[in-house]
Structure 1
Amino acid sequence: MRWSPAAGSMSRGKVATNRNPYGYQRQKEREPRSCIRYKCGLLNTIADVLRQRPGWTEVKEDGEWDFYWCDVGWLRENFDHIYMEEHVRICHFRNHYEVARSQGKGIFLFRKLKDIIDWRKDGGRSDEQRDEIPVENYVAQRYIENPYLIGGRKFDLRVYVLVTSYTPLRAWLYRDGFARFSNTRFTLSSIDDQYIHLTNVAIQKTAPDYDPEKGCKWMIQQLRQYLTAKHGPVAVETLFQNIDNIFIKSLQSVQKIIINDKHCFELYGYDILLDEDLKPWLLEVNASPSLTASSQEDYDLKCRLLEDTLHVVDMEGRLTGKERRVGGFDLMWNDGPVSRDDGQLDGISSGNLMANTHLGERRPVLTACSPYHCLGAHLLTHPLHPQAASMTERRT
């Protein structure tokens, strides 16, 4: 019998006959569990959520575990060399990969192909020096020159999709998300100013006039309310249906590439840009979205997101498998489209059932003591909201 200390479980090879690697009889996958042993390779919001989850116990580095929120480095080094029992879960699929850096690093704009040729010269380095530089992959994208602006500022959306299986495809859409605004008014006159063109919080918070108390984010409920007030419910419903299609088509495009494994799940962070015609554009899909909070509101959102992720993964075995909603997650695809329970007809595509998605919709239960639920008043007094300007004029 061979053991892998890094994984805390038995490596692939001989199967033990006297004791399994988790120290108890093998249980059915859906059988309830009262004690979950977990490991966490990150020190941000997910560590807090796991630590506070009832019945979950953190294990030491070489301890045996049932659930592991690992980093990509551990995954690549260990996944193919360990044995995992039926109930064990891990937060990435085995051939998880990323083709770009995160937090806006390495992104630059250019107008002509000549600019790329000049950039490839590496600042006049010699051929020998260039040969020593590691080769990196870059993705070239056409810049959207007509982004939708609010208050003269560019923004994009961060939306979360949880995939618990690729074969068959089973995907959940989170109701909450946020819009990330640039700190500087939009213009095409300067393509080198990252504070204008990149909305990543990691970049915007370094702007000289950045206010950490106000931040540069709207909850996605605020954005949907703003767009509905300005363009009407029909146009906004069409917009969000098109965004739903982006989620499904993008997952289907890699469905035959990702190696499905019943032990794995993946929480994706989608970055979507709207243009002035309310057309959504997919910028990128983050397989390791940032879980570090930039404000108390952001921390609260990510805590709810991660708690609900754990509810869907269901290590405790409490779900029946027939749920269409778990916490803030709605099952939008289960080897096919999932329609809403109420059977409500889609007024835009007549005769079709509405998809079981509620991105950015207001929650039905409001509590006055919760700042998260007081979005209406917060949005109305936000300096970018059109009604806020008229209210200010009336006061003066």
Structure 2
Amino acid sequence: MSKYKILGYKGPYGNQRKREAEGRSYVRYKCGPMKTIQDVLKQRPGWLEVKEEEWDFHWCEVSWMRDNYGHSSLEDHVRICHFGNHYELTRKNLMVKNLKRYRKLLERELGPQEATRCDFFPCTFDLPCEYHLFVEEYKRNPGSTWIMKPAARSQGKGIFLFRKLKDIMDWKRSRSRAEDPRDEAQVESYVVQHYIENPYLINGRKFDLRVYVLVTSYAPLRAWLYRDGFARFSSTRFSLSSIGDQYVHLTNVAVQRTAPDYDRERGCKWQMQQLRRYLTARHGEPAVDVLFQEVDNIFIRSLLSVHKVIINDKRCFELYGYDIILDAELKPWLIEVNASPSLTATSQEDYELKYRLLEDTLHVVDMEGRLTGREKQVGGFDLMWNDGPVWLEGVDSETLGSSLCTAKANTHLGCFNNRKNQLRQLLKPFSGQRAT
């Protein structure tokens, strides 16, 4: 059991003999070495961990999908926590490629105004294949700050900022010397982006948002947004004069936890409700409502950009971790989408959030068959897209606007999470089960 505990939770309900006596069928599951999801699965009534290959549910690493998916026959009833080609959205260069393509499609079919609704990611180039295009853009914006990121790495690894083209030339030469020319896989893709030089600061520190989106189908697209999330802060005050200091510019927990003044109790995080209250107090409710509508727009359009590209499989689902940054004008920018968002807890509060998130993910996936399929809310998840926008209760589409993707969807990011009462009403509890 994790060192963190869910308050008021009394552990597994019953034992194997009791479940068999009551005629319950098991959900057989496998899970990798991810502590929080292991805790959730072990505490779920009627679920049984198995080691052999006969399983109903597998919470796997993306590496398992690469090595196994498509190479063996899977029964229709099983569920896996990734889509086969999830990387179309979660690999940085492919995400931008798909967003650019989708923006061109919107401009061609619906006009330039609709295409501007996709202007939520920084100017980005895929290296090395778009190096010359990058150089042309670099020369048009002398003195700008750029950020280099490996396309397929995470946790801030390999990221650096630069202003001089000489820096990237030195990078290219150093990589050429380090790589074996006989290695066919030697050329690692990077993305280079305009750096957001005017981030929104709180107490002088930069932060980004981690938000969770659950996709249970791409054909038709069916996506849920979790009400809880958090803001991740840097531990050092922001300054553009120190572009070589990762503690200033990278909010990744893997980076910040090595900082000398890292707060190990809070983990340099604010809950999303706290952030929304802070922004509302400073800017007013109308401005914050617009901000969160634009954040919703990012989720919907990014998913629509890949919904015809990702291979839909009814046995698959995906819990994405979106990273979004706000600039000083309260404009949200999409930084990246993670296929395996960290489930490691940095505090008791963080553990409880992730435990609830994962428990509600299992409620939505519904291996037990307790949902009707018509639900708009399950626990902390709100259905935001179901082959079209899911409208706010009591508000018609004409009031919200007729554009396909500018809908103010039925989401409540950073609002009160009423999951306990909602689950009591929605789900018939197992014998002895309590809402956590």
| TM-score higher than 0.5 | yes
d(CA) in 2 for partners of 1:135, 1:124: 9
Determine which of 392, 406, 413 is the counterpart of 1:359. 413
Residue deviations 1:137-171 (CA, integer Å, cap 9, x gap): 11111100000000000000000000000011000
More off after superposition, 91-100 vs 339-348: 339-348
* 1:51 corresponds to which of 42, 47, 63: 42
1:239 corresponds to which letter in structure 2?
A: L
- Equivalent residue number for residue 282 of structure 2: 230
Deviation at 1:134, TM superposition (A): 2.3
1:16 match: none
Once the 2 structures are TM-superposed, how far is the Cα of residue 131 of structure 1 from its aligned partner?
5.5
Any idea what the Cα deviations from partners look like across 1:33-72, whole Å, max 9, x if unmatched? 7410000023321111111111000001x24100001111
Q: Report how many residues are paired.
A: 334
Q: Spell out, residue by residue over 1:181-213, the C-alpha distance to the aligned partner (whole angstroms, 9 max, x if none).
A: 000000000101000000011111100121211
Cα displacement string for residues 336-362 of structure 1 (whole angstroms, at most 9, x for unaligned residues):
000123338998869998420000012
Residue 208 of structure 2 is aligned to residue 218 of structure 1: no
Work out whether 1:271 is the aligned partner of 2:323. yes
**Aligned pairs (5 A) from 1:1-396:** 34-60=25-51, 62-97=52-87, 98=91, 99-122=151-174, 125=177, 129=180, 134-343=186-395, 354-363=408-417
TM-score with structure 1 setting the length: 0.79
Q: Which residue of 1 aligns with 2:144?
A: none
Deviates more, 1:192-201 or 1:208-217: 208-217
Q: CA contact under 8 A between 1:38 and 1:57: conserved in structure 2?
A: yes
Provide, for residues 190-238 of structure 1, a one-character-per-residue CA deviation record: whole Å limited to 9, x for no partner: 1010000000111111001212113200000000000000000000000
Return the alpha-carbon distance in structure 1 between the equivalents of residues 189 and 176 of structure 2: 21
- Give the match for residue 110 of structure 2: none
The question of whether the paired residues in 2 share the 8 Å contact of 1:346 and 1:353 is answered with no
1:93-129: CA deviations, max 9, x gaps? 0122234211111111111222111111117838x85
- 5+ residue gaps, structure 2: 1-22, 92-150, 422-436
Cα deviations by residue, 1:250-283 (Å, 9 ceiling, x for unpaired) = 0111111110000000000000000000000000
In 2, Cα distance between equivalents of 1:300 and 1:151: 26
| Counterpart code for 2:242 | S
- Give 1:379's aligned residue: none
The answer (yes or no) to whether the contact 1:163–1:172 under 8 Å persists in 2 is yes
Shift of 1:306: 0.3
SS in 1 for 2:228: strand
The runs of at least 4 consecutive aligned structure 1 residues that moved more than 4 Å come to 128-133, 344-354, 364-367
How far has the Cα of 1:82 moved from its partner? 1.9
Cα root mean square deviation, aligned: 2.5
Alpha-carbon distance in 1 for matches of 2:180, 2:418: 61
Which structure shows the higher helix fraction?
2
Contact 1:34 1:316 in 2 (8 A): no
Q: Which runs of 5+ in 1 are unaligned?
A: 1-31, 368-396
Distance 1:232 1:101, change over 3 A: same
> Which residue of structure 1 lines up, in the alignment, with residue 137 of structure 2?
none
Identical aligned residues as a percent: 71
